[in-house]
Chain A
Amino acid sequence: MEGDKRRTKEDTWKSEELRKHLRASQPDSQNEDQKHREKKLQKEKSVYDTDTHKHERKDRGKSKERTRERERFKSGERDRDKMRERERGKEHQREGDRERYKAKLQESSLEKERYSVPKDKDRESDRERDKKHKRHEIKQIDTQNNLKSFEGRDKEHHRRRESRHHLEEEKTRSKERERRHTEKKDNDTKKSIDKFLAYKVEEAERVHKLQKDQELDKEGERRHREKKEHSVRSGKERLSKERSHKSYEKQEEEKHKSKRSKEGSSYGDREGQPAEANERVKSREDERKKCDLRNKKEERIQEEMSHQCVSRTVKGKGKLIEKEEGDTKQKEMKVTRTYNSDMGFDNFSANYEDDFEDYEDDFDDDEDKSGEERDAEDNLREIPFSRISEIEEIQRAISAENDRICTSLPKKIENEKKEPIMERQYPSVRNSFCGIFMDFQMANQRQSSRSMASKQKKRSSELLPLIDLDFSVSFSLLDLPPVNEYDMYIRNFGKMNTKQAYVQCNEDNLERDIQTEEVEALEKWTQHPGESALVSGGPINSQNVSMNGALTPKIDSQKLANFLRCACQVIAVLLEEDQVAAQPRWKLRSRQTSLSISDSCFQLNTNQPFLHDRKISCLYVSQVQRQTLLSVHGLPEKAGVALLNRKSIICVWNIWQPSSPQKVLICDSEVICCCFSPNKTTLVFAGTIDGSLLVWDLREDSRMHPHMVISETDWTFRVPTFSTDGVLNSVNHTSPILAVEPVSTSLYADQNYGFSSLSYQEEMSGPPFQIASMDENGILNMWVVVELQKVDLAGSQTDLGLIPGGKVKLVHSSTMELNNSLFPKDVCQRMPQTLSIKFLSSNPNRFIVGTNIGLVGHGTRHDLKVFPRLFRPRESGLRSISINAIDFFPFGKPLFLAGCSDGSIRLHQMTTEYPLMQWNDSTNGQPIIALQWALTRPSVFFVLDASSNIYIWDLLENDLFPVAKQTIPSENVVTMALLGEPEKTNGLLGIALAKESGQIDIQYVKKKWALRQPEESEKLHLVLLQSF
């Protein structure tokens, strides 16, 4: 036992030295040799441990070792060995002396020995400390490591066993020693019981043999030689063994010392061991903190730092044990070693073995280190420090208990055989050994204590993961949300003596809007060389079709509606013609013509109940669609239909359908003048006597307007779409509007005549035009006609004059005061009154204004100077002659006719102030009401005077007098309008005559005045030139 300890001491010392000197060391160095031999010895021992191996070895060994001996002599190493054998005795003595001296010193001061470092004892004390530390470490590992890897467990098991062994060894030291002596004699038979025990026993036996039976027999001699070799190799080990026999008391003392230190370490783990560790590794540092964890850590660090010694020492033991346990590998190695040695390559084999051992050492080192580290990590990870300390306390308590038992027990069984005691002590380590010694009391106690400890460990290990801190749940210690508005308000103002009041500031009535209109985009298709007539077209429908998946017939409802409208008109006209043909009354009336100037005539059916007793004040024929006629019917003299009592009525006629008006427009005030929009007959403008300008959009749905069933016919009376009445007060007329004229800005308006597009798009976005309205005071207002993109059926909030659902509105553009701008001061003094206005069709910027002083003003809308400013009659001086009618020459030349209230007719050209021609007495002084150029012949114009006489002038035929005069017999003719299509040469020229009774007669003049003659314009030009 002592030898074992000693050997471990030596091991540690050797390993320390080895690391320093191994590689570069000479083979002469004693330590190295010793180490080598020690290793061999260990292996040999381990070989001897197992009986079978041992016997085999012995059987074989007798011859082989002899040969080996011989070879040893041959080899230099053996020589050296012999030399060492010789030296061994000296060494023994030296060591013994040293030990004795050291023991004395240690006896005198144990603590001093630990801390003081005398040169002689330095190594020894260091070794002892190492040993203690190692034991402590082992114990700690034993106690702390619950969960270990298999390897670790194995090693731990060995260590534990070893540590136990040490403990028990120490406790029963003296008795065991005695026992050992006796044991050694008959131990050979019992080697197989416990390998470890056997090992020890064997060792002891060897020692015994060394001491007593060294040269008894051959085998003994061989053994002795082996052991000599062993002892030589192990050097101090053997020395210590020998010493243990020779100097017994001193060893005892030494053991006392070590026991004390061990006890100190076992009972005062916390205090003693860290200090020792520190001293050992960190070269006498002061006492460190006593926390176990830190101890462990330090130890680990120390192990890592000086793992040479620590792991070596641990390994020294572990290796031994492992080898004892019968590691096959090692056995094989041993076999090879033995064979090698048999073959006589001792030297080589030794070196080789050394290498091998080194390799093994390294391997073990790594294993141990990793195992220990892993263990430590496991401990750290799985067992909280508090638990560790708890467990340690428990462990300590258990060990104390065990100690107590152990100290008491040996006394009881002192008389018993010593083998059982030995065996009995080991069962506590390993239960499988219980077979021989059956001390149930001790076993039970230990069992119970162990089970207690294991239970607690188990419980702790089970509980710990449950108690583990849970990081997944988080609590907010303080949650202070921001104070919301109401709470703030209540906090500040929610006290007593405060009142809550509301303020309506409409702050929440925010409005957001976008002032950007969407970009209009159209898809068109085209194909590059345009081979057919159809090269491009409207939106591509293929995408829609493909998207819909099903072929849906594309119906352009607008186009269809337009087509139906046109077709309906045609059909209606045809039906009406059939009706006329069928009904003799209409036939008669159409044939009947009392007028000499006309071939035929017919009446528009103004015999409608709502048109009774209404005078016609105005007729207007569209410039674009010559068959469309407006008739303005004034207020009724007697109360008629209730709804229309105070309404003026405008009827839209198509002369091809004379049986009834196309549309009936009503308004509240009396209409003085009216006109169509310049390009299409979709809009009707009217100026009223109270100065308002009205617009009707004829495209509007009839459901927007009031209906009335009169004499079984459903009539729709359309109210104005837009009215300036009372809306645009700042710019509105304040006196009766005398004239309303469309001003088309299209340069090519004439080319568009007769080109009726069915496209709704074009209809909507036709060329822009303005409406000029002139009142009695000479105020000329220009209005821009704006068509709205979208319809608001709820009515517009900004356009108050617009009917709900209306699309057209008038926007005031500009205002001119004609009286001041047109007339010079001398004329202005006469307070001229403007009566009529006409815009030059070729240049709408220029216009002429008829006045009541016989002058015709000439103006432009952009303040440009024009010449002449006035068109004067041939007579000088200003007379009160009203210019009742003005008509521009429709065939391009800048000529106009002016009919005056004195019956004079003047033909002016725009470039001269005075007329080209003037006819004064053609009407016998009757005022001229209307006058108009014939639409089909440039040289013919028609004149109506106040006495219902129609005069036909043909300047080619007679430029002094009218060529025909026709008096309308029955009634007064209020006004006259010409119907005709200049583009056609069919010779149809109608005269619409509005009679005072409200009848409208249409006379088709005779062909001679209607059909255009060849080169008529040139002839007229010549006539006009002659007139200069």
Chain B
Amino acid sequence: MHGGTAGRHPPPGPSKRFPVAAVDAILKDVLGSYLREQPYEAARCRDMAKDIAEIIKARVKDLMIPRYKIVVVTHIGQLNEQSMQIGSRCLWDPASDTFSSYVFKNASLFALANVYAVYFE
């Protein structure tokens, strides 16, 4: 490991970490702006989940984070005094890969948006 030669090679990890905070802000913004006044309607929320996922994907891509693949998963469900657990499992490199998650609730519904960022070597 000579320092000179090592310096010429690109660093093994991502040059720029995935901006979790920025993505969190996006999630918060998108979910809040879309669902703040929204009553739960199954049909509408089904489309809404898709739209929100699209928006989140587009806006995360706007961040121009190189070499990161993005997976966006959104859930919208009714708040009806029920209990629910949503889990996820990933196979990734914890050094470079990360995720961002945000839960939004209003009077009638909850929404969960997850963004998984997987570094593409």
Contacts and interface: CB of A to CB of B under 8 A. Distances in A.
A769 to B, nearest CB: 8
Interface string B62-93: 11101000000000100000000000000000
A845 B46 CA distance: 30
B102 to A, nearest CB: 15
A724 to B, nearest CB: 14
B55 A811 contact: yes
A814 B32 CA distance: 11
Contact of B43 (A513, A811, A861): A513
B107 interface: no
Interface string A103-134: 00000000000000000000000000000000
B62 A811 contact: no
A813 B62 CA distance: 11
Contact of A784 (B43, B47, B58, B63): B58
A811 B46 contact: no
Nearest to B48: A798
A786 B62 contact: no
Given A745-B58, A768-B54, A784-B55, A511 B64 contact: no
Nearest to A517: B50
B51 A786 contact: yes
**SS class of chain B's interface: helix, strand, loop or mixed?**
helix
Given A843-B64, A844-B62, A511 B42 contact: yes
B64 A786 contact: no
B9 interface: no
A745 B47 contact: no
B49 interface: yes
B59 A813 contact: yes
Contacts of A770: 58, 62
B57 interface: yes
Given A784-B54, A811-B55, A515 B49 contact: yes
Contacts of B76: 515
B16 interface: no
Interface string A773-809: 0000000001010100000000001110000000000
Given A515-B46, A843-B64, A845-B64, A786 B54 contact: yes
A464 B31 CA distance: 88
Interface in A856-901: 861-862
B61 interface: yes
Contacts of B29: 814
Contacts of B48: 798
Interface in A606-654: none
A477 interface: no
Interface string A720-746: 000000000001000000000001010
A522 interface: no
Given A513-B46, A786-B51, A813-B30, A768 B63 contact: no
B46 A813 contact: no
A467 interface: no
A862 B29 CA distance: 12
Given A770-B58, A811-B51, A811-B54, A745 B46 contact: no
A784 B45 CA distance: 17
B22 to A, nearest CB: 6
A771 to B, nearest CB: 10
Nearest to B41: A798
A770 B29 CA distance: 17
B44 interface: yes
Contacts of B45: 515
B54 A745 contact: no
A502 B30 CA distance: 44
Contacts of A845: 62-64
Nearest to A846: B64
The 9 A-B pairs at the shortest CB distance, nearest first, are namely: A745-B61, A811-B51, A784-B58, A784-B55, A813-B55, A798-B44, A768-B58, A786-B54, A513-B42
28 contacts: A511-B42, A511-B43, A513-B46, A515-B45, A515-B49, A515-B76, A517-B50, A731-B33, A745-B58, A768-B54, A769-B58, A770-B62, A784-B55, A784-B59, A786-B50, A786-B51, A786-B54, A798-B44, A798-B47, A798-B48, A799-B47, A812-B33, A813-B30, A813-B55, A813-B59, A814-B59, A844-B64, A862-B63
